[in-house]
Amino acid sequence: MNQLVAMSVMRGLINGGKHSIGYARTVVRCHPNVWDGDDMPLLGLRMMVMMSSYSSSSESVPEKVKEKGENGIVPSSYWGISRPKITREDGSPWPWNCFMPWETYRADLSIDLKKHHVPTTFLDKVAYRTVKLLRIPTDLFFQRRYGCRAMMLETVAAVPGMVGGMLLHLKSLRKFQHSGGWIKALLEEAENERMHLMTMVELVKPKWYERMLVLTVQGVFFNAFFVLYLLSPKLAHRVVGYLEEEAIHSYTEYLKDIDSGSIENVPAPAIAIDYWRLPKDATLKDVITVIRADEAHHRDVNHFASDIQFQGKELRDAPAPLGYH
């Protein structure tokens, strides 16, 4: 009998979420000897009912907390994850949730902007030609509208680091291996590119058809880069290295237009001043200058990542260049 009851309760627990919890309790009430016997199957049942009771009671706790919260909002400190009060160096409150003061940095403006990886191998040439080909429709579409161009290209630029980082993460799990810091380095790159986008979007508002274009391009580019990284990470990193060389070129042209006055040198967005630790009176020119330095850093990281693999090594064999930020 006990086994029959146990089996029906277990079936109920397996089949249906909250209803099964109530069902289990009902059965336990109707058959008190479920708790008394020494049958092994009942041990599992007891544990399941106890777990159900536990999850049920923990579900009800926020309701009690809610009563105490202001305006019916559950205090986040209930889970112990409330954010400590964070301030800038001058003591003013930190206004950003998307990045913290310790993630800000001063871009390395001494970086060589002219460095170029001369394509020598067949794969290098494929990467170089692919990027040059991709530039043709970009030039045709945007021409010299560099604000819009930069904003749109940053939506693409933030993809490779995330794909590469994700695939290296999975590889690390699959092979029980360290990544040599490369997961973090690539995810940092993705985040840095996303911050470029968050900055550009303060300056240029995307139109509806540009949003549609971003949707389409992201769908194609994410999948294409994902497959490319699976097939040949060294080619994927080389492509990114050349894309970054193009980004440096685009931002240099952007700066020329600011200098010539055809693009107004407006005050820097607040997010950029905090992220790159720029002076309070920084301008668009300062922002584009630090973004261009970031792109030069990405260029070096990706060409380096490709070089490692062209030498027959794995990324984890060479420590990742962490600590730029």
Interface residues with Fe ion (CB under 5 A) are 154, 157, 193, 196, 244, 295, 298
Comparison of 42 and 189: residue with beta carbon closer to Fe ion? 189
Instruction: Tell me how far, at minimum, the Cβ of 272 lies from Fe ion, in Å.
Output: 13
| Residue 115 beta carbon to Fe ion: minimum distance, rounded to whole angstroms | 14
Shortest Cβ distance from residue 160 to Fe ion (Å)?
Answer: 9
45-52 long-range contacts (CB < 8 A, ≥24 apart) are 45/6, 45/9, 45/10, 48/9, 48/10, 48/13, 48/24, 49/9, 49/24, 49/25, 52/13, 52/20, 52/21, 52/24
CA 8 to CA 23: how far, in whole Å? 10
Would you say how long the chain is, in residues? 325
CB closer to Fe ion out of 188 and 244: 244
Torsion, Cα of 132, 133, 136, 137 (10° steps):
-130
Q: Which is nearer to Fe ion, 20 or 289 (CB)?
A: 289
Residues 6 or more apart whose CB falls under 8 angstroms from that of 229 comprise: 160, 163, 164, 167, 236
Please state the closest distance from residue 313 (CB atom) to Fe ion, in A.
24
299 vs 242: CA distance, rounded Å: 7
Q: Which is nearer to Fe ion, 10 or 113 (CB)?
A: 113
Q: How far is the CB of 247 from Fe ion (least distance, A)?
A: 5
**124 or 154: whose CB is closer to Fe ion?**
154
Closest CA relative to residue 266, chosen from 281, 277, 276: 281
Q: How far is the CB of 49 from Fe ion (least distance, A)?
A: 55
Return the number of the residue (45 or 157) whose C-beta is nearest Fe ion: 157
Least separation in angstroms between CB 244 and Fe ion? 5
DSSP for 165-209, written as a single string: HHHHHHHHHHHT---TTHHHHHHHHHHHHHHHHHHHHHH-PPPHH
- Per the CB < 8 A criterion, the answer to whether 35 and 28 are in contact is yes
Q: Measured between alpha carbons, how far is 233 from 32 in angstroms, rounded to an integer?
A: 63
In terms of CB distance, is 193 or 300 closer to Fe ion?
193
